[in-house]
Amino acid sequence: MAISPSFSMSQNSGTPNIISATDTSTGVDTSITSRRIYLLQSDGTYLVPAGTTTNYSVWAITNTTTREPLSISLNVLTQDTALSITVQWLNASNVVVATVTNSYAFTAYNETFYYGLTESQVANANLTASTNWYQNKMTLRVELDSATQAIVYASDIFSAQAALNRATYISTNQSFFF
């Protein structure tokens, strides 16, 4: 059975700087001995962990039958970021056997901030009486949702990043908004 390549991505709110890729491929191709993962930003540059000299991260394979390890964690984010992510599966000669590209919006930084606003709102119900406070919270929500929609409906990392930048402006300048 040939490999049907696929992968998924995740991010944890407790460590928003780290994104994890999981190889969700089905089938087996024992000629595959390694993977590369490319994290393309909307400005055309690639994200790689500190000390990496290529525009990709190597995702080793120690067992060609099971593609172990199935996951890799990459410490690359400093803020919410939209990425076009490409994973390549390679053989021993470094020839690409399969390639898959998907787009993602990683929003844990601003989602964590948003949840903090919700906690503040629960602790002090009078905050919702402030039109500006509540409108600013909703503006943040709209920007986060806009980023997600840009990815889900159009794989548009440019529009997603613009929305994430607007959300980040609100969270990093919270004294102006809340």
**pLDDT, tens digit, 9 for 90 and up, residues 132-155:** 999 999 999 999 999 999 999 999
In a domain, 170, yes or no: yes
Q: Do 39 and 118 reside in the same domain of the chain?
A: no
Q: 106, 138, 161 — which closes off a domain?
A: 106
What is the 3-state secondary structure of 164-175? HHHHHHHHHCHH
Q: Do 124 and 162 reside in the same domain of the chain?
A: yes
Give the number of domains in the chain: 2
Q: How many CB atoms sit inside 10 A of residue 170's CB?
A: 21
In a domain, 2, yes or no: no
pTM of this structure = 0.94
Full domain range(s) for residue 155: 108-177
Q: Do 112 and 102 reside in the same domain of the chain?
A: no
Structure tokens of 95? Answer: 């020839």
Q: Do 83 and 99 reside in the same domain of the chain?
A: yes
Q: How many CB atoms sit inside 10 A of residue 148's CB?
A: 17
pLDDT given at position 1: 58
